[in-house]
Amino acid sequence: MGKKKITLELEEYPDSSQLPDADRRLLTEARAALDLAYAPYSGFRVGVAALTASGAVVRGGNLENAAYPMCLCGERSALAAAASQYPEDPVVAMAITVKHRAKTIAEPAGPCGACRQVISETEDRFKQPIRIILQGETGPVVCVNTVKDLLPLYFTGAFL
Ligand code: THU
């Protein structure tokens, strides 16, 4: 049996004040996007801001449904909005933050597996890596330069 080590590189900042300016601005947009969330069932809001190559910022929030499996995550909500409003303008970065109705989340909440897959497809479609900036309501910020750093052994259209 051979063993293979996969190294993933995450940037970690103790708080948002230490972030590069562009990342901090996008995170502020993500915080504003929390107001777009419709999360009456979980009370867990997710705010996302997607930056396009030409500098447009598209916001999205999670959209829940009484039929629970129909819930749409904030990440996919923002990517769908960007693909609709700026179909020729690839997303280059996404900031993601969360807010719980009953407690303070003080660590980054990583995107769910389904959203990682969708972000990965978006990267492949536009041949453009997407920088991801993650922060809870407060606390440290984690950044990666591509979603592939959050998704080892990812599935891609190249298999099909
Ligand atoms: N949620 C997201 O918006 N993004 C994720 O990556 C994980 C979960 C939403 C879905 C649901 O509205 C709420 O968070 C609780 O799962």
* pLDDT digit string, tens, across residues 102-133: 999 999 999 999 999 999 999 999 999 999 99
Of 44, 52, 141, which Cα lies nearest the Cα of 102? 44
Q: Residue 156 pLDDT more than 90?
A: yes
Q: What backbone phi and psi angles, to 5 degrees, belong to 18?
A: -90, -5
Q: With CA atoms as reference, report the closest residue to 134 among 21, 7, 27, 20.
A: 27
- Assess contact for 32 and 57: CB atoms under 8 A: no
The whole-number pLDDT of residue 30 equals: 98
Percent of the chain with pLDDT over 70: 100
Q: What integer pLDDT is reported at residue 70 of this predicted model?
A: 97
Fold of 11-152: Cytidine Deaminase; domain 2 (3.40.140)
* Ligand 1 center–CA 88 separation, angstroms: 27
Most ligand 1 atoms within 8 A of CB, residue of 41, 42, 46, 115 to mutate = 46
Which one of 34, 36, 44, 75 would you pick to mutate in the ligand 1 pocket, going by the greatest count of ligand atoms within 8 A of its CB? 44
Q: Is 39 helix (H, G, I), strand (E, B) or coil?
A: coil
In tens, the pLDDT along 25-49 reads 999 999 999 999 999 999 999 999 9
- Domain ranges across the chain: 11-152
Residue 107's SS3 state is: coil
For residue 9, pLDDT over 90 is answered with no
The Cβ of residue 113 has, within 10 Å, a number of other Cβ atoms equal to 10
**Phi and psi for 32 in degrees, rounded to 5?**
-65, -30
DSSP one-letter code for 104: -
Q: What pLDDT, on a 0 to 100 scale, did the predictor assign at position 27?
A: 98
Task: Give the whole-angstrom CA distance, residue 73 versus residue 135.
Answer: 16
Measured from the CB, is residue 37 less than 6 Å from ligand 1?
no
Cβ 81 vs Cβ 33: under 8 Å: no
Q: Which atom of ligand 1 is nearest to the CA of 61?
A: 3
pLDDT, average across residues 135-150: 98
DSSP 8-state code for residue 110: P
CA distances to 45, 85, 106, 148 from 31, rounded to whole Å, are: 10, 21, 14, 24
Could you tell me the two tokens for 137? 């309501």
- Active site amino acids: 75
